[in-house]
A = this chain, B = another copy of it.
Amino acid sequence: MTRIVVDAMGSDDHPTPDIEGSLSAAREYGVEIVLVGDEALINPVLTTRQTSGISIRVVHAPEMLTMEDKGEELALKARHKDANNSMAIGIDLVKKGEADAFVTAGNTGAAMLTALFRLGRMRGVDRPALAPSFPTATGSSVVIDIGANPDCKPENLLQFAIMGSVYAEKVRGVKLPKVGLVSNGEEEGKGNELVRSTTPLLKKSELNYYGNVEGKEVIGGVVDVAVTDGFTGNVLLKTSEGVSSFIFAYLQDFLKDSSTKELQRILGSFQKHFSYEEYPGALVCGVDGIVIKCHGAASKKAMVNSIWEAVILVENRFLEKIKAEIL
């Protein structure tokens, strides 16, 4: 039975959405869930819920990392052997082989650092990267990196491309995922120095390399994997979020006084396509273990989706596959 550790202290409204998502996932997917966090907060929620017939247990962690944790102090907490925050304890369970994957909706930097220090980098990966599912016109694709590495070298981008490709294949079942390099123009030769130096590496690789893609093509779903440095990836992600939430806010506001309930319903369901809370979290790619970081405003649904993503990664032997490809 696949065992997923869930950080009960992760989401903005923790622990309720984190616990409810875990319960649904345990029931729906038949996996074992280990909730890690403050028992005094977890147990009162858990006892009021139906837990018979599912496999769920609690591991106590007296502390938690928050959005306030940053810099050197965060590094110390992420690294310390006896750290007793929920991320450290949860990730240690994966490290010791007592669980298969870790899912959290907490502080992104904290999750990245804790994973990096406790699981270590995967052999052949210089820089772990953050790879979310990104909504596109045709469904979703993998954008890697979206913030972990603001400055990159061509070799980093090649490694992101390999990890992203395996991810798209293993999680989405895409055969020979199309890999694009985010640039300011589609033609070869367009790009900044980083893009122009990365192109030959991608062409030489065994990836299904598509070429340069502009922001428009990423949104259009032209490629399965969009490779970029974490600075550009973050601007791409945040711009996309900004435009879609502005448009939907405007339209919802306009429609709220209208009698067209049907329209509101359709708009609402379309809006979900752009709602990052509905998507499984971002995979922390390149650490030696499976760690998924959900949106902080994660709903129960988002937690369920993220746990499912973790299950697929575990059951499809994602780590082994990456290790074979990256060397």
Chain A 219-262, CB within 8 Å of chain B: the 1/0 string?
11000000011111011111111111111001100100010100
Q: How far is the CA of A286 from the CA of B208 in the complex (A)?
A: 41
Q: With a CB–CB cut-off of 8 A, which chain B residues contact A217?
A: 242
* In the complex with contacts A150-B192, A192-B151, A219-B246 CB distance below 8 A: yes
Q: Does A263 contact B (CB under 8 A)?
A: yes
CB distance A220 to B244 under 8 Å?
no
Whether B191 and A215, one on each chain, are in contact in the complex, defined by CB atoms closer than 8 angstroms, is no
A150 touches B218 (CB 8 A): no
Complex contacts, A247 vs chain B, CB 8 Å? 243-244, 247, 270, 274
Task: Let me know if A231 and B150 touch, CB within 8 A.
Answer: no
Q: Mostly helix, strand, loop or mixed at chain A's interface?
A: helix
Q: A184 to B230, Cβ gap below 8 A? A: yes
A216 to B241, CA, bound (A): 7
Nearest Cβ distance between residue A230 and chain B, in whole angstroms? 7
Question: Looking at the complex, which one of B190, B242, B258 makes contact with A216 (CB distance below 8 Å)?
Answer: B242
User: What are the interface flags for A176-206 relative to B under an 8 Å C-beta threshold, 1 for contact and 0 otherwise?
Assistant: 0000001111000011110100000000000
Indicate if A40 sits at the interface (CB-CB under 8 A): no
User: A137 on the interface (CB 8 Å rule)?
Assistant: yes
A220 and B192 contacting across the interface, CB-CB below 8 Å? no
A216 touches B231 (CB 8 A): no
A324 at the interface (CB under 8 A from B): no
Closest B residue by C-beta to A246: B137
Q: List 24 A-B contacts (CB under 8 A).
A: A147-B185, A150-B195, A184-B238, A215-B234, A215-B235, A215-B237, A215-B238, A215-B239, A216-B242, A216-B245, A217-B242, A219-B239, A219-B243, A220-B246, A232-B232, A235-B235, A236-B236, A239-B243, A240-B242, A243-B244, A247-B247, A251-B267, A251-B270, A258-B263
In the A-B complex, the 5 residue pairs with the closest CB atoms: A215-B239, A219-B242, A215-B238, A184-B234, A216-B242
Given contacts A150-B192, A231-B232, 14 further A-B contacts (CB under 8 A): A147-B185, A150-B191, A151-B193, A183-B231, A185-B234, A214-B242, A215-B236, A220-B242, A220-B246, A243-B244, A247-B247, A251-B251, A254-B266, A263-B263
